[in-house]
Structure 1
Amino acid sequence: MWTRQHKQRNTGRLIIPSLCVAFLAYFGFHAYHGEFGINSKYQLEAQTIELQAKYDAIKARRVDLERRVQLMHEGTLEKDMLDEQARRALNLSQPDEITVMLPANSK
């Protein structure tokens, strides 16, 4: 029976730890930069704030429009409001009326 003496290599002992480090680096990178990672959470929060501001503006506009429509219902019809809206939409005025033109930014 013969035996062979050989020296243990250091590379054999480093294979498993290096694979573990590679897996941890891979999953760590994607945990931060991935589609559902930490970085995307901050982007989604910023987008949520922006969309909430747009939603609030649209909601305020809707409330204003609903109020104006309520004024035009049959039971609460205000003749002055209806006359003003019709003149503005049709760009009409009577010959004996004086029209004052205001800048567009002052309402």
Structure 2
Amino acid sequence: MRTLRQIESASMNARRKPAFGIVIYAAVTLSLSAYFIFAAVQGDFGLFRRAEIEVEGEKLAAELKTLETEVARMENLTRRLSDDYLDLDLLDEQARDVLGLMRSDEIVVR
């Protein structure tokens, strides 16, 4: 029969050594948790990538607004030079810039 000391020492040894399976389970769980947390923050669809996409979207929206303004200006100029609507001031400006024309009463200063 076992003595009280043997029983106590057996229970102490059992408490001191965790089962090998539990250690492996904890390591695997910790590793998977670390991987998924890393992927959620740094991955292709993570938080940092989402912030980059939002900033890029804002830049593209600003560029779109600039291009729309430029297109509207060009459409206005095109309409003003069309056969249906002729802006004489714009025609005079274009003739001076493109052809180098000037009126006889003007003096050229270079």
Which bracket does the TM-score occupy, shorter chain normalised?
A: 0.7 to 0.9
Return the letter of the residue paired with 1:97: E
The match for 1:77 is: 86
* Higher share of residues assigned helix: 2
- Higher gyration radius (CA): 2
TM-score (norm 2): 0.74
Large movers: runs of 4+ above 3 Å:
98-101
Aligned to 2:8: none
Q: Structure 1: state its 5+ residue gaps.
A: 1-6, 102-107
What secondary structure sits across from 2:68 in the alignment?
helix
Sequence identity percentage: 29
Unaligned runs of 5+ in 2: 1-12
1:86 to 79, 85, 95: 95
Q: Is the deviation greater in 23-32 or in 91-100?
A: 91-100
CA-atom RMSD in angstroms: 2.1
1:18 has 2:27 as partner: yes
Give the number of equivalent residue pairs.
95
- Partner residue, 1:54: 63
Instruction: Tell which deviates more after alignment, 62-71 or 82-91.
Output: 82-91
Bigger shift: residues 39-48 or 86-95: 86-95
TM-score scaled by length of structure 1: 0.76
> Cα deviations across residues 8-42 of structure 1 (Å, max 9, x unaligned)?
65233211121011011001101100111111111
2:72 corresponds in structure 1 to 63
One-letter code aligned to 2:69: A
Between 1:42-51 and 1:9-18, the stretch displaced more is: 9-18
Q: Do the aligned partners of residues 100 and 59 (structure 1) sit closer, same or farther apart at CA in structure 2, a change above 3 Å counting? A: farther
Distance in 1, matches of 2:71 and 2:108, equals 30
Describe the shift of the 1:41–1:100 C-alpha distance in structure 2 as closer, same or farther (beyond 3 A). farther
The one-letter code matched in structure 1 to 2:70 is: R
